[in-house]
Amino acid sequence: MSFSAKDLEVIKRFWEDEIIATNVYSFLKRKVKGEKKEIFDKLSGMEMGHARIWENLAKEKFNKEFKVGLTLRIKVFFYKVLAIILPLTFMINYLELGERTATLEYSTLLTKFKNEPKIYEVVKKIIYEEIEHETMFLEMIIGERSKLARVKEAIYGMTDSLVEILALVIGLASVIKSPLTIGLAGLIAAIGGTFSMTSGAYLSAKSQNDLYEGAVRELDVKDMVARSLLLKDLKLVLEEKGVDRDAVSEIIDGLKENPKALKNLVKSVAIEETPTNPKEVAFTTGIYYIIGALPAILPFLFGDFFPVNTVFIAIIAIVLSSIVSFLAGMFTAILSGTKIIRKALENVLIIIGATLATYTIGSIAKVLLGISV
């Protein structure tokens, strides 16, 4: 099978990911003690081995040599900073999601080497080791899932409030001159929104728990009674995610003798729900909904005591909300395994877009309808 420049890009990205993982695992080894130190040391060595495999493959198939450049060094530094400032559980959750993604991506590449048995077996071995890594991380954060879920609810409540309340007060700022009036309107809206969010979060958590418990019970029964059905579920999920059928068959064959890894992998890729306490979810969502509204409301409440223009106060509210939204986006990405900077910037752009839209609508209404308070 011929290889394209796009294949080289994919292989280089895999290599970069392995280099980053090698450095991050080695760095995390210094933060932990006992068994975890040994685990991270082992993982670091494995990832370096994977990096060498991708590097050798690039030399063999493309006559291309990979080098650690400035951009990659910056990425490594960024991840090390994250490892310093984040609780270990958060970092492990992010790494576990990354290993899951790597497993799926490597599996899609496996079909490229059907006619090259030596390379095929090497890539297949990498896939099995990535599955093993994910299982290790899952075991590390057993019992911590509920805490992670609460953080997700907190961020959800905060970001929802940020967009809604900021859009409201900025829209009002285009037609109302009094900062205090705008601030009070935003506060009333935030209190009303809190009751709505709390009720919705409670009902959503209860439904989510029912779905999760049902799915786990089904997996347990299949594992005990008919493991072949568990293998079938994994096959369907992987194929739905775009993994080649032959590659899926290879992965499944390797997991037949490892029931623990099989069950963990099926649970991680097939069950998206996470068990939570509905009361805690409702409380957390409600509290952080109010907190999320403060960057938008406080500048108007305090701005009334100073001789400043309403537009200037609105700019301060947008800047504060954008900063909070950027940080919230980073945590969302860490908990969901997505690109951190991309998600953070996406949050900020949504904030800015919403405020521009509501301010524009308010300004148009002011001109066309003569509304001014």
Residue that is written with structure tokens 């900020």 in the block: 348
Pick the residue with more confidence: 218 or 360? 360
Structure tokens at 335: 């908990």
Residues sharing a CB contact under 8 Å with residue 369, sequence separation 6 or more, in sequence order: none
Structure tokens at 290: 């109010």
Mean pLDDT computed over 310-336 = 86
Q: CA-CA distance, 110 to 121, in Å (whole number)?
A: 9
Mean pLDDT computed over 1-14 = 76
Q: Say what the pLDDT of residue 363 is.
A: 79
Pick the residue with more confidence: 3 or 77? 77
Q: Say what the pLDDT of residue 124 is.
A: 80
Q: Choose the most confident range, by mean pLDDT, from 35-39, 41-45, 109-113, 314-318.
A: 314-318
SS (HEC) of 55-117 = HHHHHHHHCCCCCCCHHHHHHHHHHHHHHHHCCHHHHHHHHHHHHHHHHHHHHHHHHHHCCCH
DSSP 241: T
pLDDT for residue 22 is more than 80: yes
- Which amino acid does the sequence have at 71? T
Q: CA-CA distance, 28 to 190, in Å (whole number)?
A: 40
Q: Say what the pLDDT of residue 275 is.
A: 64
Instruction: State the pLDDT confidence band at 270, using cuts at 50, 70 and 90.
Output: low
Q: CA-CA distance, 57 to 126, in Å (whole number)?
A: 13
Instruction: State the pLDDT confidence band at 297, using cuts at 50, 70 and 90.
Output: very high
Structure tokens at 108: 């899609």
Pick the residue with more confidence: 293 or 35? 293
Pick the residue with more confidence: 171 or 133? 171
Q: Say what the pLDDT of residue 144 is.
A: 62
Instruction: State the pLDDT confidence band at 307, using cuts at 50, 70 and 90.
Output: confident
Structure tokens at 261: 């890894």
| CB atoms closer than 10 angstroms to residue 39 | 19
Instruction: State the pLDDT confidence band at 371, using cuts at 50, 70 and 90.
Output: low
Answer CATH for 5-140 from 1.10.1760.20, 3.40.50.1820, 1.20.1260.10, 3.50.50.60: 1.20.1260.10
The chain-wide mean pLDDT, for the chain, equals 79
Q: Do residues 182 and 170 lie in contact, with contact meaning Cβ atoms separated by under 8 Å? A: no
Instruction: State the pLDDT confidence band at 344, using cuts at 50, 70 and 90.
Output: confident
Q: Say what the pLDDT of residue 357 is.
A: 87
Q: Say what the pLDDT of residue 362 is.
A: 77
SS (HEC) of 19-31 = HHHHHHHHHHHCC
pLDDT for residue 145 is more than 80: no
Q: Say what the pLDDT of residue 28 is.
A: 86
Q: If we measure between CA atoms, which residue out of 113, 134, 177, 126 comes closest to residue 313?
A: 177
> Where in the chain do CATH 1.20.1260.10 domains reside?
5-140
Query: DSSP 3-state assignment of 43?
Result: helix
Q: CA-CA distance, 323 to 347, in Å (whole number)?
A: 10
Q: Say what the pLDDT of residue 342 is.
A: 85
Instruction: State the pLDDT confidence band at 188, using cuts at 50, 70 and 90.
Output: very high
Provide the angle, in degrees to the nearest 10, between the axes of the packed helices 88-110 and 310-336. Answer: 60
Percent of the chain with pLDDT over 70: 81
